[in-house]
């Protein structure tokens, strides 16, 4: 018996391997296929209404005609607002947790809490936001209240990505910097953060994708059913793409008539998320290059 005589007593193990890979491959293709079908469905249904007018005009005729411009602007405001809140707070908490907090029960507790926060259903955030920002702080239904609520939702993700990005950095950089007489803060700000930045920014942008698609948190805190004008201040209500989509598909004045508009809105929403993801990718590569060069 030698290995090159073509006979093998272990045919079954090869068979098992082949079978496993066939199944895996089949499932992977199925997933991709479903994704393609969804996209194709929405694009196919929605592309017909996409026009310059659709993107830049106010909705008309009970949202069966016109455009979705205020919803786009509203979503943009909410995303920017939520990030203005979540980014500094999240990144700073992440830095504190990874660079300063010593291992112990307190750190474990905070971690547990952030993880739990990430698992809280978004409608609960909405409810909380309404209770705290809208009522207690008296912001009313406003961009401010909505942004803060969305920011809270994004916070665990930002904290986690920051922490993970920092944790992935080899300790030799920290030790090397400290050994040169740098303080911990100098080490963090001048060496560690620049290295972690590409990954942090990626996490941030991915959470932008998530925030821009959320409906539940803005339901009670900012979103307007129908508001064909642009906001003037952060205390204004706005329309937002996901909520707009929800409204015209479920409770519009004429659901059948606005069906095409709904697909168009969905298409724009998906497009935005896609662009955001591509941007995240590109930014990460760009910063990764910058960090090495600088």
Partner 1 sequence: MYNTDSKEKEYSIQTKDVHLHYGDFHALKGINIAMRKNQVTAFIGPSGCGKSTFLRCFNRMNDLIDNVRIEGDIFIDDVDIYKTNIQVDDLRKHVGMVFQKPNPFPKSIFENVAYGLRVNGTSDKNFVQERVERSLRQAALWDEVKDKLKKSAFELSGGQQQRLCIARALAIEPSVVLMDEPASALDPISTAKIEELIYELKKDYTIVIVTHNMQQAGRVSDSTAFFYLGELVEFAKTKTLFTSPRDQRTQNYITGRFG
Interface with partner 1 (CB under 8 A)? 102-103, 170, 172-173, 175-183, 186, 190-191, 194-195, 291-294
Minimal distance, residue 281 CB to partner 1, in Å: 20
Minimal distance, residue 284 CB to partner 1, in Å: 15
Minimal distance, residue 286 CB to partner 1, in Å: 14
Measured from the CB atom, is 56 or 183 closer to partner 1? 183
Measured from the CB atom, is 12 or 294 closer to partner 1? 294
Minimal distance, residue 180 CB to partner 1, in Å: 4
Measured from the CB atom, is 41 or 185 closer to partner 1? 185
**Which backbone phi and psi does 174 adopt, to 5 degrees?**
-65, -50
Measured from the CB atom, is 4 or 292 closer to partner 1? 292
Helix spans in the chain (H):
11-46, 52-56, 69-95, 105-119, 122-129, 143-167, 171-178, 184-186, 193-213, 216-219, 241-250, 259-293
Q: CA 79, CA 94: separation in Å to the nearest integer?
A: 21
125 DSSP 8-state letter: H
Measured from the CB atom, is 12 or 172 closer to partner 1? 172
Q: CA 294, CA 283: separation in Å to the nearest integer?
A: 16
Q: Across the chain, where does the E strand assignment appear?
A: 59-60, 65-66
Minimal distance, residue 102 CB to partner 1, in Å: 6
């Amino acid at each position: 018996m030698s290995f090159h005589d073509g006979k093998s007593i272990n045919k079954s193990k090869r068979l098992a391997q082949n079978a496993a890979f066939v199944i895996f491959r089949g499932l992977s293709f199925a997933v991709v296929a479903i994704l393609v079908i969804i996209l194709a469905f929405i694009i196919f249904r929605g592309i017909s209404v996409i026009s310059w007018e659709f993107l830049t005009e106010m909705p008309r005729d009970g949202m069966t005609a016109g455009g979705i411009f205020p919803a786009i602007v509203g979503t943009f405001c909410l995303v920017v607002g939520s990030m203005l809140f979540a980014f500094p707070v999240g990144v700073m908490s992440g830095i504190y947790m990874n660079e300063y907090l010593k291992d112990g029960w307190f750190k474990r507790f905070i971690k547990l809490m952030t993880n739990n926060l990430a698992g809280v259903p978004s409608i609960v955030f909405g409810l909380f936001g309404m209770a705290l920002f809208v009522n207690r702080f008296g912001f009313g239904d406003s961009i401010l209240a909505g942004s803060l609520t969305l920011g809270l939702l994004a916070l665990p993700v930002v904290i986690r990505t920051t922490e993970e990005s920092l944790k992935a950095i080899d300790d030799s950089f920290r030790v090397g910097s400290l050994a040169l007489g740098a303080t911990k803060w100098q080490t963090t700000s001048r060496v560690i953060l620049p290295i972690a930045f590409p990954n942090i920014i990626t996490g941030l942008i991915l959470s932008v994708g998530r925030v821009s698609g959320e409906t539940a948190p803005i339901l009670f805190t900012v979103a307007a059913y129908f508001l064909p004008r642009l906001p003037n201040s952060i205390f204004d209500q706005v329309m937002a793409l996901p909520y707009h989509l929800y409204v015209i598909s479920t409770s519009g004045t004429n659901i059948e008539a606005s069906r095409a508009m709904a697909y168009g809105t969905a298409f724009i929403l998906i497009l935005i998320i896609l662009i955001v993801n591509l941007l995240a990718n590109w930014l990460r590569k760009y910063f990764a290059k910058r960090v090495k060069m600088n």
